[in-house]
Amino acid sequence: MAEHRWGYTTGACAAAAAKAALQVLCGIAEPPPVVCLTFPGGRRHTLPLAFVRATAGGAEAGVVKDAGDDPDVTHGALVTAHVCWTNGAEMVFRAGEGVGTVTKPGLSIAPGEPAINSGPRRMIRRALAEVSDRPVQVTIGIAGGRQLAAKTFNPRLGIENGLSVLGTTGRVRPFSCAALRSALVCTLDVAWACGVRAPVLVPGHIGEQAARCHLQTTPEQVLEVGNEWGFVLGRLVRYPFERLLLFGHPGKLAKLADGQWDTHSARSTSPVAAVRRIAQPLLAAPLPDSPTTEGVFGALAPHERRRAAEAVAAAVAAAVAEKIGARWPVAVVLVDMKGGLLGAVGQWQRWRPRQSPKAAEGA
C-alpha cells in the first residue's frame, strides 16, 4: 500500500504568501513562482504560489493549501497575505476575509487579536526576516473561511467570522489526530477561563442538543468529545473542576463501560454487547434482539427501559470515575436519538435541569 502524502499547514501557506508579497514590496523585479521557507524543524520546503502582485501601497500573494491526503477542511483553500510598510517598531498582524478574531479568554492569543496562532506568527516573522528587517503590517486571509469555520471548533472557542491560522511544524500529517486533539485542549482551556467548573461532556450533536434542551448551561459548558474519550479525560484531570456530567446516547457512552476510550466504530466493538451484559440480569424477559442500542431500549416497556438505562449509566459513571482517579463526582444521563431521557445516575440535577428529571415515557 502506498504511503499517505503529507501536506502543509495553513500557517506555512500564510508564511509563504507573506514572504512572496514582501519580496514584491521590496522591489524584486521577477516575482518567483515558488517560495522557499525554513520550517520550525530546520528543513527547507518549497511551496508554489497561486499569484503574487503589487497593490496600491503594498503587495499581496496567495498559496492554495495542499493538505496532502489528510481530510482537512481547508484543503484547496486559497490562503492570502497582504503586506505594507508600517511606521511602528514591530510587525502587526491583521485578520483578512475568512480569518477569525478571538473573542474569549483561555487561548494562546488574546481577545481582540486575529486568530493567527503563535506557531504561524513565528513562521511568518522568520520568513519575512529573510527578506527585510523593516516592520510591516501583514493581513492574512482565507477564501471561504467564514463558511468553512462553521465546520470547525471555532464557534465553540469564541473565534468569530472565520478560521484560525494553525500549525506548529508547518506540515500536515495525514489522518493524524493532532489537529482534533489540539482543538479539544483549546476547548477545555476556554471553558476553564470562562468560569466553567462543572463541565458537560457529550459525544456529538445528539448529546449536545439534548444537554442544551434539558439543562441550563453556558455556551462554554458543553464540550463535544467525539470519539476521543481517553484523551479528553486524561486532559480533564489537569484542571481543578468540581464535578463532571456525561450526557448522550448509549450508542457511544455504553462503550465506556467496557473501557473502550476510543469509541470510533473502526476501533471499538458494538455497544449492544455492553448493554446486554449490564442490563439483562435486571430484567425478567430476554432483551430484544436488535443490532442497535436504540432498538434495544426502544423495544422495552417504559419501566424496564428506565431500569436498564440507569444500570448502563451507573456502569459508565463507575468506569469514568475510575479513569479519572475518582477526582470528582460523576453523573451520567442517557438519551435516545430524539433527545428523550432514558435514564440517569448521579446528581445531575445540580446542572439546573429545565424540567423535573424523569426517564422518558416514550421512545
pLDDT tens per residue, range 142-166: 999 999 999 888 998 899 999 999 9
pLDDT attached to residue 137: 98
Tally of CA atoms within 13 A in the half-sphere of 63 that contains its CB: 29
Q: Which three cell numbers stand for residue 309?
A: 438505562
Q: Mean pLDDT over residues 75-94, rounded?
A: 96
Tally of CA atoms within 13 A in the half-sphere of 352 that contains its CB: 7
Residue 340 has pLDDT above 50, yes or no: yes
Beta-bridge mates of residue 341? 335
Band of pLDDT at residue 102, cut at 50, 70 and 90? very high
Which backbone phi and psi does 30 adopt, to 5 degrees? -115, 100
pLDDT tens per residue, range 166-216: 988 898 877 667 778 888 999 999 999 999 999 999 998 899 999 999 999
| Opening angle at CA 198, ends 223 and 100, nearest 5 | 40
β-pairing verdict for 244-248 and 200-202: parallel
pLDDT attached to residue 176: 66
Which domains does the chain carry? 7-172 (3.30.2110.10), 195-351 (no CATH)
Buried b (16+ CB within 10 A) or exposed e, 105-119: ebbebeeebbbbbeb
Which backbone phi and psi does 53 adopt, to 5 degrees? -160, 160
pLDDT attached to residue 271: 95
| Opening angle at CA 173, ends 170 and 178, nearest 5 | 90
pLDDT attached to residue 139: 99
Query: Which parts of 203-304 are beta strand (E)?
Result: 222-224, 244-248
Highest-scoring range by mean pLDDT, 2-16, 278-292, 296-310: 296-310
